[in-house]
Amino acid sequence: MKYLTIFVILFTVMMFAQSSVEKLTPQLNVVLENSNSSEELLVWVFFNDKGNETQNYFQKPSTVVSEKSLNRRAKVLSEDKIISQRDLPVNQNYISRLQSAGFELKQKSKWFNGVSGWIKSSELSQIANLPFVKQMDIVYRFRSDKFEADIIDETPEESNPDFSKPQGINSFNYGQSLTQLNIISVPQVHDLGYTGNGVTICMMDAGFDRLSHQAFSSMNIIATWDFVNGDPDVQNGSDMGNGSHGTSTLSLIGGFYEGQLIGPAFGAEFILAKTENTDSETPIEEDNWIAAMEWADSIGVDVTSTSLSYLDYDPPYPSYTWEDMDGNTARITNGADYAVYIGIFVANSAGNAGFNASHNTLGAPADGDSVMAIGSVTSSGNRSSFSSVGPTVDGRIKPDLMAMGSSNYVACNSSNTCYSSFGSGTSWSCPMAAGAAALLLEADSSLTPMQLASLMKNTASLSNNPNNQMGWGIVNTYSALQSLLTGVNNTNQLPEDFYLLQNYPNPFNPSTKIRFAVPEKSSVKIYLHDILGSEIAVILDEEVNPGIKEIELNGSNLASGVYLVRMVANNYQQTIKISLLK
C-alpha cells in the first residue's frame, strides 16, 4: 500500500509536469533553457475560455463595444454575430489567480483571450499548471525599422504619371504640403467638400508630442491612451518614449494650418494611442499594439494608421523573420487581420528595408492579407529606394498601395510653429494613404474595409499591372471617388448611369474641369447658367460614346461669382454649382 501511494504521487507529479511543459510553446522553452531561475520573462498567458458568466454580454452587445463600433460591424457581420466570444472581456478571476501566483500584468487581449506580463522563470510551471491556462508563449521583441530612412539613391525604378500641379486655384492654401497631396489627388476631393467628416481614425505611434502645435489647433481628438506607460498622456511628459515621430505622422493625415500644411482627413475625429517605447532597443511589444487596436475598436474606429514595422530581434529572444511574413505567423498580423474582419480599415507602413532580390523585406503586420501595406514614392512618383518590397512568403503581392514618403512636409515638435521636410520613410506615406481612405469612407460610409481596399487598388496607377515593388501603384483619391459615385470600379467597366460630377478645382481661376458619366451612346448637352438660372453658354452639345468624359471650362471672360452647370442627356438632368474666384 505504501509503494502504491508513492507511485500515485510520482505519477501525478509527472503528469502535471508533462502538462506544464506541453503548455509552453517551443519558443518559450528555448528562452527558458537559456535563462536562470530568477530571471523575469515577458510572456503571454492564454486561457481556455472566458468563464461561465458570458450570456449577458450577448444580450447587451453595447456593454462590450460602443454603438458606433456596432454600427461599423453591421457592415460586415450579421446581427447574430455582431459580437463573438473573441470580443468578450478576459475573465478577471483568471487574471487575479495569475497575479496571486506572482504574475505582473502588462496588457490584456480579449481577441486572443490572454494577458501579457512579467514572471520569474522559476514560477512558470506554477502558472502553466493552472487549469484555465491553455498556453504560454514568449512576447516577441522587436527592433523596429528606422522611423525615417536616409535617402541615398532615388534613381527612378518605375515609370509613373506626371504629377504636375492642377491649373487654377484650390479650395485651400496647402503651402508646401501641396505636392504630397497632389500626388494622391486629394485637393480635387477637398474641392468637392470631403474632409473626412464623420470618420474616426486611430493613430498608433510613439506618442504625439506638441499637441499645442498650430497644425492641430482645429483637430478633433476624442480619446488618448499611452499603452507604454499606462496613462492618458500621449505626449512626452516625464515617462518613457519620445513622441516627435507621432507629431509628424499625425500632421500628415490630419493637420490643418492654411499656407503651411494640410492633411487629407483634417475633418475626421482622432484617437491617439502611444504604443512604441523609443527608450528601448526593443521598443515595442506586439501586445501594446493589439491592446490599442482593441481599445480603438471599442470606441468605434473606422480607419487605423500605423507608421511602425517590426522584424529584427534582439538575442536571445526569438523573433519573426522575413520567412514569417506569410500573413499568419506574427500575432500582431493576426490581430490586424481580425480588426479588418470586424470592419476596420487597417493601413500600415510596408517598411524601410528597401529591395532584396532573394526575399521580401516586409515587417509585421504589413504582411497581413487584409492589411493595406503602404510603400513610398518620391515627389516625381518613383518608388523610394528604401521602400520595402514583397512578395509575402505565401506569394501575395506587397505592398498594396503607394503614396509620397520622401521629404514630406510635416509638423515638428520643437515649437508650435515648427515644420520640416527632412524626414523620409514609409512612416510618412502610410498616413497619406490612410487619410485618402477616410475621404472615400466619408463619401460612402457603407463601404466595408475590403470594398474600400478594392476601390483604391482598382483606381491606383498600376491597377492593371501590379507588382511587388509598388503593388497596385499610387493612390488616386479623386479617381476612386469618381469610381465610387458612378459605380465604375475598373477601367473596362462602363458607368451604371448618367452622372454629372462636381468640377475641380472649385473655386477656380480661370479654368476648371467638369467630368460626367455616360452609360450608353447618347446626345449630351451641358449648359452654363448664372445664379438666377439665365443661360450664358452651351459648353457641350454632341453625341458622346459611353464612359467617363472630361471637358474644360475657361472663365477668363466671366466675372467672379457662383454659376450653375446643367447636364441634359436622354431623360437625365443634373445641375451643380461652381465658383469662379478672381
Q: For position 542, what pLDDT does the model report?
A: 94
- 404 and 508 inside one domain: no
User: Which among 233, 217, 215 is positioned nearest to 225, based on CA atoms?
Assistant: 233
Q: Beta strands of 40-179 (E only): which ranges?
A: 40-47, 104-109, 114-120, 133-138, 141-144
The residue among 486, 515, 533 that closes a domain is: 486
Q: Could you tell me which residues are beta bridge partners of residue 262?
A: 256
Antiparallel, parallel or unpaired: β 261-262 and 284-285: unpaired
Residue 150: pLDDT above 60? Answer: no
339 grid coordinates: 480588426
Q: For position 284, what pLDDT does the model report?
A: 56
423 in any annotated domain: yes
If you average pLDDT over residues 146-167, what whole number do you get?
42
345 in any annotated domain: yes
Q: For position 376, what pLDDT does the model report?
A: 97
562 in any annotated domain: yes
461 in any annotated domain: yes
Range of weakest confidence among 31-40, 190-199, 476-485: 31-40
Q: For position 60, what pLDDT does the model report?
A: 93
CB atoms within 10 A of CB 522: 14
Q: For position 489, what pLDDT does the model report?
A: 64
- 465 and 529 inside one domain: no
H/E run at residue 202: strand 200-205
Query: In sequence order, which residues have a C-beta less than 8 Å from that of residue 185 and are 6 or more positions away?
Result: 475, 476, 477, 478, 479
- 480 and 512 inside one domain: no
Residue 367: pLDDT above 50? Answer: yes
Residue 138: pLDDT above 60? Answer: yes
Q: For position 149, what pLDDT does the model report?
A: 45
Residue 283: pLDDT above 60? Answer: no
CB 23 within 8 A of CB 114: no
- 28 and 95 inside one domain: yes
- 125 and 226 inside one domain: no
User: Which among 554, 108, 40 is positioned nearest to 291, based on CA atoms?
Assistant: 108
255 in any annotated domain: yes
Residue 152: pLDDT above 60? Answer: no
- Arithmetic mean of pLDDT over the chain: 87
Rounded distance between C-alpha atoms, residue 29 and residue 124, angstroms: 11
Higher-scoring residue by pLDDT: 550, 15: 550
- 432 and 570 inside one domain: no
Q: For position 171, what pLDDT does the model report?
A: 79
- 423 and 296 inside one domain: yes
- 301 and 331 inside one domain: yes
Rounded distance between C-alpha atoms, residue 41 and residue 136, angstroms: 11
533 in any annotated domain: yes
Higher-scoring residue by pLDDT: 462, 19: 462
Spell out the long-range contacts of 276-279 with Cβ–Cβ below 8 A and sequence spacing 24 or more: 276/144, 276/205, 276/206, 276/207, 276/228, 276/241, 276/245, 276/308, 277/206, 277/228, 277/240, 277/241, 278/206, 278/207, 278/240, 278/241, 278/242, 278/245, 279/240, 279/241, 279/242
Residue 80: pLDDT above 50? Answer: yes
Which domain CATH number covers 549?
A: 2.60.40.2550
Segment 454-494, tens digit of pLDDT: 999 999 999 999 999 999 999 999 999 988 888 766 656 78
CB atoms within 10 A of CB 536: 13
Q: For position 73, what pLDDT does the model report?
A: 95
- Tell me the C-alpha to C-alpha distance, in Å, between residue 398 and each of 176, 386, 403: 30, 15, 14
Rounded distance between C-alpha atoms, residue 546 and residue 561, angstroms: 32
If you average pLDDT over residues 145-151, what whole number do you get?
46
Residue-wise burial string across 302-327, b where 16 or more C-beta atoms lie within 10 A, e elsewhere: bbbbbbbbbbbbeeebbbbebebbbb
Residue 9: pLDDT above 70? Answer: no
Residue 17: pLDDT above 60? Answer: no
The CB-side HSE value for 211 (13 A sphere, CA atoms) comes to: 14
Task: Tell me the backbone φ, ψ of residue 445, rounded to 5 degrees.
Answer: -70, -10
Residue 140: pLDDT above 90? Answer: no
421 in any annotated domain: yes
The residue among 448, 464, 486 that closes a domain is: 486
Q: For position 427, what pLDDT does the model report?
A: 94
For residue 320, what pLDDT band results from cuts at 50, 70 and 90?
confident
384 in any annotated domain: yes
The residue among 139, 167, 185 that closes a domain is: 139
Higher-scoring residue by pLDDT: 48, 485: 48
For residue 495, what pLDDT band results from cuts at 50, 70 and 90?
confident
Q: For position 19, what pLDDT does the model report?
A: 57
Segment 404-458, tens digit of pLDDT: 999 999 999 999 999 999 889 999 999 999 999 999 999 999 999 999 999 999 9
- 424 and 289 inside one domain: yes
Rounded distance between C-alpha atoms, residue 362 and residue 541, angstroms: 53
Helix axes 426-443, 449-458, angle to 10 degrees: 110
If you average pLDDT over residues 372-398, what whole number do you get?
96
417 grid coordinates: 510653429
Spell out the long-range contacts of 571-577 with Cβ–Cβ below 8 A and sequence spacing 24 or more: 572/497, 572/498, 574/498, 574/499, 574/500, 575/500, 576/500, 576/501, 576/502, 576/503
The domain of 114 spans 20-55+81-139
User: Which among 189, 191, 196 is positioned nearest to 441, based on CA atoms?
Assistant: 196
Rounded distance between C-alpha atoms, residue 200 and residue 302, angstroms: 5
Spell out the long-range contacts of 221-226 with Cβ–Cβ below 8 A and sequence spacing 24 or more: 221/269, 221/270, 221/271, 221/272, 222/269, 222/270, 222/271, 222/299, 223/271, 223/272, 223/299, 224/271, 224/272, 224/273, 224/274, 225/272, 225/273, 225/274, 225/292, 225/295, 226/274
Residue 153: pLDDT above 50? Answer: no
Which domain CATH number covers 399?
A: 3.40.50.200
Range of weakest confidence among 157-171, 258-272, 420-434, 445-459: 157-171
Segment 543-574, tens digit of pLDDT: 999 988 889 999 999 999 999 999 999 889 98
- 99 and 225 inside one domain: no
Rounded distance between C-alpha atoms, residue 375 and residue 405, angstroms: 8
If you average pLDDT over residues 499-524, what whole number do you get?
87
Segment 330-358, tens digit of pLDDT: 889 999 999 999 999 999 999 999 999 99
Residue 281: pLDDT above 60? Answer: no
Residue 179: pLDDT above 90? Answer: yes
Rounded distance between C-alpha atoms, residue 81 and residue 485, angstroms: 30
Domain count, the chain: 3
Rounded distance between C-alpha atoms, residue 311 and residue 325, angstroms: 9
Task: Tell me the backbone φ, ψ of residue 406, rounded to 5 degrees.
Answer: -115, 115
Residue 5: pLDDT above 70? Answer: no
Give the pTM.
0.85
- 522 and 436 inside one domain: no
Residue 1: pLDDT above 60? Answer: no
Task: Tell me the backbone φ, ψ of residue 213, rounded to 5 degrees.
Answer: -55, 145
Higher-scoring residue by pLDDT: 155, 254: 254
510 grid coordinates: 480661370
- 375 and 259 inside one domain: yes
